[in-house]
Amino acid sequence: MDPHSQWCHNRRCRAYGRIGEGHIVVIHSQKERRYRCKRCGRTFSETTDTVLYRIHKPKWLVVAVVTLLAHGCPVQAIVAAFELDERTVARWQRESGAQCKRVHEHLIEAGRVALLQVQADELRIKGVGAVYWLASALEVKSRLWLGGSISEHRDRELIRTLLIRVRACGPIEHILLVTDGLASYASQALHVFRKPLRNGK
Ligand SMILES: [Zn+2]
């Protein structure tokens, strides 16, 4: 157990989500693997806010199922192979996805990525009874995935949401924008990346 890699999970606490700042989080119980926040006094488990919180299945099984889902394995195959309830698999997928989103926001969208060259593209995805568009962006030199956005329409909202995510990843000074013809990139980049110069009027 390492209190330095933990943070307070109480959203009302000033230490919420702040990792490695002094000795705010201490070990509460080695046996129950619980930590305690010195600022608000709340205790929390090692697995709070993760997919492993209060599960009644072995940890390896959750990790295996989430890995298979991430590689596109059909849910029905997982249900059949591990004799799991479909709702359990759906819950693990939902909760691990939410955790991944928080990790991504904390590490990548924290403004520290060197954005030398960014590539963005849209994928057409067929869902059950609907078609969706996934727009995503990556930094070319590091191959780091910067984030994505999903919409039923390939429109300016889709591109705007993506560019706002890109902007959060790192500092942007001068931009050369090249597009294959989707006009939304040019129009939304002007909205998202410009800095207004106030003239006092
Ligand atoms: Zn706290």
With a threshold of 0.90, tell me whether the complex ipTM lies above it.
yes
The number of C-alpha atoms within 13 Å of 153 and in the hemisphere containing its C-beta is 5
The pLDDT of 160-177, averaged and rounded, is: 93
Ligand 1 centroid from CA 4, angstroms = 14
Asked whether residue 28 carries a pLDDT value surpassing 70, the answer given is yes
Ligand 1 centroid from CA 14, angstroms = 6
Going from N- to C-terminal start, the domains of the chain cover 1-48, 59-107, 118-193
Which of the two residues, 45 and 196, has the higher pLDDT score?
45
- Euclidean distance between CA atoms 82 and 166, whole angstroms: 39
Q: Tell me: the pLDDT tens digits for 87-107?
A: 999 999 999 999 999 889 989
Q: Report the 10 Å Cβ neighbour count for 88.
A: 17
Q: Look over the chain and give the mean of its residue pLDDT values, rounded to a whole number.
A: 91
- Euclidean distance between CA atoms 23 and 19, whole angstroms: 10
Strand order in the sheet with 144-151: 118-127, 130-139, 144-151
Ligand 1 centroid from CA 35, angstroms = 10
Q: Tell me: the pLDDT tens digits for 120-150?
A: 999 999 988 999 999 999 999 999 999 999 9
Amino acid type, 157: E
* Percentage of residues of the chain with pLDDT beyond 90: 66
The pLDDT of 171-197, averaged and rounded, is: 89
Residue pair 188/156 in contact by the 8 Å Cβ criterion = yes
Q: What pLDDT, on a 0 to 100 scale, did the predictor assign at position 54? A: 87
Q: What pLDDT, on a 0 to 100 scale, did the predictor assign at position 22? A: 65
Residue pair 189/175 in contact by the 8 Å Cβ criterion = yes
Residues with Cβ within 5 Å of ion ligand 1?
Answer: 8, 10, 13, 15, 37, 39-40
